[in-house]
Amino acid sequence: MKYDRILIRYGEMTTKGRNRNLFVRRLKDNVAEKLQAFPNIKIEYMRDRMYVLLNGEPHEPIIDKLKTVFGIHSFSLAMKCNNELNEIKETALAAVQQLAHEGKTFKVSARRVDKQFPYGSNELNHEIGAHILRNTDRLTVNVHEPDINVRVEVRKDGTYVTCRDIPGPGGLPVGTSGKAMLMLSGGIDSPVAGYLAMKRGLEIEAVHFFSPPFTSERAKQKVVDLVKKLTMYGGTIKLHIVPFTEVQQTIYKHVPNEYSLISTRRAMLKITDALRQRHRALAIVTGESLGQVASQTLESMFVINDVTTTPILRPLVSMDKTEIIAIAKKIDTHDISILPYEDCCTIFTPRSPKTKPKKEKVVHYESFVDLQPLIEKAVANTETMVIDENFAAEDGFEQLF
- Asked if residue 168 binds Mg ion (CB under 5 A), the reply is no
Q: Count other Cβ atoms within 10 Å, centred on residue 297.
A: 17
- Asked if residue 69 binds ligand ATP (CB under 6 A), the reply is no
Per-residue binding string, Mg ion, 180-209, x by CB under 5 A, is: -----x-x----------------------
* Gap between the Cα atoms of 269 and 183, Å rounded: 9
Give the one entry of Mg ion, ligand ATP, none that residue 221 binds, where binding means its C-beta sits below a cut-off of 5 to 8 angstroms depending on kind: none
Per-residue binding string, ligand ATP, 146-185, x by CB under 6 A, is: -------------------------------------xxx
Residue of 2, 94, 10, 75 lying closest to 46 (CA atoms): 10
- Asked if residue 195 binds ligand ATP (CB under 6 A), the reply is no
Sign of CA dihedral 300, 188, 237, 249: positive
Nearer to Mg ion, 185 or 272 (CB): 185
The residues with which 42 forms a beta bridge, in sequence order, are 53
- Asked if residue 234 binds ligand ATP (CB under 6 A), the reply is no
- Asked if residue 295 binds ligand ATP (CB under 6 A), the reply is yes
Q: Of 17-25, 63-71, 170-178, 292-300, which part binds ligand ATP (CB under 6 A)?
A: 292-300
What residues form the annotated binding site? 183-184, 208-209, 265, 287, 296
SS3 for 77-144, per residue? EEEEECCCHHHHHHHHHHHHHCCHHHCCEEEEEEEECCCCCCCCHHHHHHHHHHHHHHHCCCCEECCC
- Phi then psi for residue 288, to 5 deg, are -70, 145
* Gap between the Cα atoms of 26 and 172, Å rounded: 10
- Asked if residue 325 binds ligand ATP (CB under 6 A), the reply is no
Q: Count other Cβ atoms within 10 Å, centred on residue 229.
A: 20
- Asked if residue 260 binds ligand ATP (CB under 6 A), the reply is no
- Asked if residue 190 binds ligand ATP (CB under 6 A), the reply is yes
Question: Applying CB under 6 A, which of residues 89, 107, 208, 229 lies at the interface with ligand ATP?
Answer: 208
Q: Count other Cβ atoms within 10 Å, centred on residue 372.
A: 10
Is 1 in contact with 91 (CB distance < 8 Å)? Answer: yes
Nearer to ligand ATP, 88 or 294 (CB): 294
Q: Of 30-38, 106-114, 119-127, 281-289, which part binds ligand ATP (CB under 6 A)?
A: 281-289
Interacting residues of 88 by C-beta distance below 8 A, sequence separation 6+: 81, 124, 128, 152, 154, 159, 161
Residue of 1, 344, 42 lying closest to 185 (CA atoms): 344
Give the one entry of ligand ATP, Mg ion, none that residue 190 binds, where binding means its C-beta sits below a cut-off of 5 to 8 angstroms depending on kind: ligand ATP
Half-sphere exposure for 126 (CA within 13 Å, toward CB)? 4
Give the one entry of ligand ATP, Mg ion, none that residue 391 binds, where binding means its C-beta sits below a cut-off of 5 to 8 angstroms depending on kind: none
| Bond preceding residue 213 cis, omega within 30 of 0 | yes
Nearer to ligand ATP, 159 or 296 (CB): 296
Question: Applying CB under 6 A, which of residues 13, 255, 345, 387 lies at the interface with ligand ATP?
Answer: 345
Give the one entry of Mg ion, ligand ATP, none that residue 208 binds, where binding means its C-beta sits below a cut-off of 5 to 8 angstroms depending on kind: ligand ATP
What residues form the annotated binding site for ATP? 183-184, 208-209, 265, 287, 296
- Asked if residue 296 binds ligand ATP (CB under 6 A), the reply is yes
Interacting residues of 253 by C-beta distance below 8 A, sequence separation 6+: none
Give the one entry of Mg ion, ligand ATP, none that residue 264 binds, where binding means its C-beta sits below a cut-off of 5 to 8 angstroms depending on kind: none
Binding residues vs ligand ATP (CB under 6 A): 183-185, 187-190, 207-209, 286-288, 292-293, 295-296, 343-345
Binding residues vs Mg ion (CB under 5 A): 185, 187
